[in-house]
Each structure stands twice: as C-alpha cells, then as structure tokens.
Amino acid sequence: SRTAALPATGTAGQIAIVPATAGANANALALWDQSLAGAAAWVYLPPQEGWQVWIADEARHVRFTAGSWVEVPRPGIVRIRTLTATSHTLETVDLGSILETTGSSAVTVTIPPEATVSFELGALINITQVGAGVATVAAAAGVSLNGVPGGSVALDGQWSGAALVKRGADAWIIQGALAGAVA
C-alpha cells in the first residue's frame, strides 16, 4: 500500500511504500518484520532504478524511475502529460506518453543528448498540439532528428500530432502531421 505515513506498528507480512515527502527512508519499500526471534519493526529497502511494484489496495502498478515511483500504464492505456510551459526537454517520465501542448504560445519540445537522458532504442513519445501555439520538436546539439543534426520541425497546426522514436545513439525519427521537412 501507499500511505500518507507509516503506522508505528504493522501487521505480519505488510509491505508499504514510504511517502516521497517523508524525511527518512523516502520512497523506500517498508516491510513489517515480526519474527519470533527478534523485536517487531519496519525494515526499509532503498528502491533501485527499474523496480516494479503492484499496489494491491490501489490496483496500480508502479516503477521506480529517475528517483520517484511512477505509474506504469496498463496495456492499451497511454498516459497524457499536459505541457503548459513554452519549453520542455524530454525526460524518462515522458516515455510511452502523449505530450499535449495546450497553450496559445509557441512550445518547443527538445530531445536531449543521450549523455543527459539515456532513452532505450525504440523509445516512443507522442506529441500533440492541442492549443493554438505552434508546437516545435527540436534536437539538442549533437542529436539528429530524421538525419539532420540539431534539426527541428513544427507540427502541422492545432490538433496535429507526431511520434518520436529513438533509432540509435543520439538519433531520432519523427513521423506524423508535420508542417514541413526537418531542417
């Protein structure tokens, strides 16, 4: 379970995720150890990158990624992230998501170099321009987009979308409703 705070005592076999806001053991898995030989107490396991947990009482699947527990979407369900700022640099939590730009101001979504954020080959991120502000996808220095080093391209307009796929080290492909060729 995921609780606001762990109780002072637990029940045999109880496992919980310590809240991220807790001072000590933040994000750790807490197991109630009630062995016959020792005193009952919480035992904390610091989470490791990639650990996955099913939270039965919430019917949710979470993965420890980039320092926090994030929900793993169910098959066929895509997480939608709303971008309200005028710029966004892709991060691991964007994987498998649809990023929606919703404002009236232009928005630039930047693909970072692999040295900054290491996405796996085949990583997929979708971008949809919902608002009137032009959404542009830009590759950072050292990154190529459709074979163009440091390339960029705008989406075709409101309600258009595109898919980004990582195809190699610092190499991405964008496909979809684009306003023109990557330049």
Domains assigned to the chain: 14-71 (no CATH), 79-176 (2.60.120.640)
Number of H helices, E strands in the chain: 0, 17
Buried b (16+ CB within 10 A) or exposed e, 101-128: bebeeebbbbbbebeebebeeebebbbb
Dump pLDDT digits (tens) for 3-22: 556 666 677 778 889 988 88
Contact 28, 20 (CB under 8 A): no
Triad 89, 18, 13: Cα angle to 5°: 135
Mean pLDDT calculated for residue range 67-82:
86
- The one-letter amino acid code at 33 reads D
Band the pLDDT of 36: cuts 50, 70, 90.
confident
DSSP characters over 88-144: EE--GGGTT-EEEE-SSS-EEEEE--TTTS-PPTT-EEEEEE-SSSPEEEEEPTT-E
- The one-letter amino acid code at 120 reads E
Please return the burial class of 172, using the count of CB atoms within 10 Å of its CB with bins 0-12, 13-18 and 19+: buried
Q: Other C-beta atoms within 10 Å of 56: how many? A: 9
Strand order in the sheet with 60-65: 52-55, 60-65, 68-71
Average pLDDT taken over every residue of the chain? 91
Q: Is the pLDDT of residue 32 over 90?
A: no
Q: How far apart are CA 111 and CA 165, in angstroms?
A: 11
Q: Is the pLDDT of residue 106 over 60?
A: yes
